[in-house]
Structure 1
Amino acid sequence: MHKSILLVAILVVCGYAANSNGYSKFVCPKDNGVFKDSYQCDKYYECKDGHASEKLCPDGLVFSTRRKSHKKCDLPSNVDCSDRKELQPPKPSGVCLRQNGFFPHPDPTNCTIFYSCVEGRETEMTCAAGLHFDSATGTCNWAETAGRTNCRSNANKKLKDGFQCPADFKQINSNGQMVTHPNFPHPEDCTKFYICLNGVEPRQGACHAGMVYNKNTQRCEEPESVPGCENWYKHTVKSKH
Structure 2
Amino acid sequence: MQSTMLIAVCSLLIYAVVVSGQDEEFQCPERTGFYPDPYQCDLYYSCTQGKAETKLCPDGLVFSDKSSNHEHCDIPLNVECGDRTELQEPKPTKGCPRANGFYRHSDPEVCDKFYNCIDGVANEMPCPPGLIYDDMKCAWPAESKRKCENSKRDLLADGFSCPNGETVGPNGRALPHPTFPHPEDCRKFYICRNGVDPQYGSCVEGEVYNEETFKCDEPESVPGCENYYEGKEIGKKSKKN
- Tell me if TM exceeds 0.5: yes
Q: Distance in 2 between matches of 1:98 and 1:125?
A: 17
Aligned to 2:140: 142
Q: Distance in 1 between matches of 2:76 and 2:153?
A: 36
Aligned to 1:108: 108
Count residues in correspondence.
Answer: 192
Structure of higher RCO (CA pairs closer than 8 Å, 6+ residues apart): 2
Q: Distance in 1 between matches of 2:189 and 2:26?
A: 63
- Answer 1 or 2: which has greater helix percent: 1
> Which of 156, 159, 162 is 1:162 aligned to?
159
Secondary structure of the equivalent of 2:95? Answer: coil
- Give runs of aligned pairs for residues 81-120 of structure 1, distance below 5 A: 81-120=81-120
- Give runs of aligned pairs for residues 181-192 of structure 1, distance below 5 A: 181-183=177-179
Q: Distance in 2 between matches of 1:63 and 1:88?
A: 12
Q: Does structure 2 retain, via aligned residues, the 8 Å contact 1:59–1:100? A: yes
Deviation at 1:122, TM superposition (A): 1.9
Aligned to 1:204: 199
> TM-score normalised to the size of structure 2?
0.62
Q: Does structure 2 retain, via aligned residues, the 8 Å contact 1:114–1:125? A: yes
Amino acid aligned to 1:159: L
Amino acid aligned to 1:52: A
**Identity over the aligned pairs, expressed in percent?**
45
Q: Distance in 1 between matches of 2:153 and 2:48?
A: 61
Tell whether 2:48 aligns with 1:52.
Answer: no
Amino acid aligned to 2:199: Q
Q: Distance in 2 between matches of 1:163 and 1:34?
A: 55
**Aligned-residue CA RMSD (Å):** 4.0
Q: Distance in 2 between matches of 1:68 and 1:34?
A: 5
Q: Distance in 2 between matches of 1:164 and 1:154?
A: 12
Instruction: State the Cα deviation string for residues 51-81 of structure 1 (Å, max 9, x = none).
Output: 1111111111101112587441111011111
Aligned to 1:32: 32
Which stretches in structure 1 are left out of the alignment for 5+ residues? 1-22, 219-227, 232-241
